[in-house]
Amino acid sequence: MDSIERCVSLDSVDTNVLRKWCSAWLDLTHTDSVLLERLKTPDASPNLFLRRGLWEAAVVSYGRVGPSHQRRKIDLDALFLASGDSGASDFHNVISKWRHGHVTHRADTAFETVDALLSVDATLEMGSQPCPSRAC
């Protein structure tokens, strides 16, 4: 008898809840694995985008654990309570804000601002240097 013959498909309500929690667990495991890889990656200039990519992948993966209006509707409050960490819910909210406000939408200026600056060398006379672009 091979392993396929020993598998049984379950379809009760409790099984559906278990399926959803297993799916959430896979997202949490993925998040943990990605963060571990980031931790092992040296914090050096050549790794800037690799480390940022790993961080954003972890945030997106973790974000899938949260409440969904479509498929996975799980009780995160029960998970936070079971963790025994009184700050778990607040931490989740911070990560969710990071995900929605910056990683996936770049909408929240609390996480990133970009300034454009122009530096002019006052010692140069107008027209004394050839212009490197056609915009001059």
For residue range 103-112, list pLDDT tens digits in order. Answer: 888 777 777 7
Residue 130 counted as domain residue: no
Residue 118 counted as domain residue: no
Q: How many whole angstroms separate alpha carbon 76 and alpha carbon 81? A: 9
**Does residue 66 have a pLDDT over 60?**
yes
Question: In whole angstroms, how large is the CA radius of gyration of the chain?
Answer: 24
**pLDDT in the model for residue 31:** 96
Q: Give per-residue pLDDT as tens, 67-126.
A: 655 667 788 888 889 889 999 999 999 998 888 888 888 777 777 778 888 888 777 666
Of residues 135 and 82, more confidently modeled = 82
Residue 110 counted as domain residue: no
pTM: 0.67
Residue 61 CB neighbours (<10 A) = 20
Residue 61 counted as domain residue: yes
Are the beta carbons of 62 and 70 closer than 8 angstroms?
no
- Provide the number of structural domains found in the chain: 1
Residue 4 counted as domain residue: no
Residue 5 counted as domain residue: no
**Does residue 1 have a pLDDT over 70?**
no
Helix H segments across the chain?
Answer: 13-40, 48-63, 76-83, 88-98
**pLDDT in the model for residue 105:** 82
Residue 82 counted as domain residue: yes
State which residues form the domain around 70. 13-103
Q: Give per-residue pLDDT as tens, 3-57.
A: 556 666 777 777 888 888 888 899 999 999 999 999 999 999 999 999 999 999 9
Residue 86 counted as domain residue: yes
**pLDDT in the model for residue 28:** 93
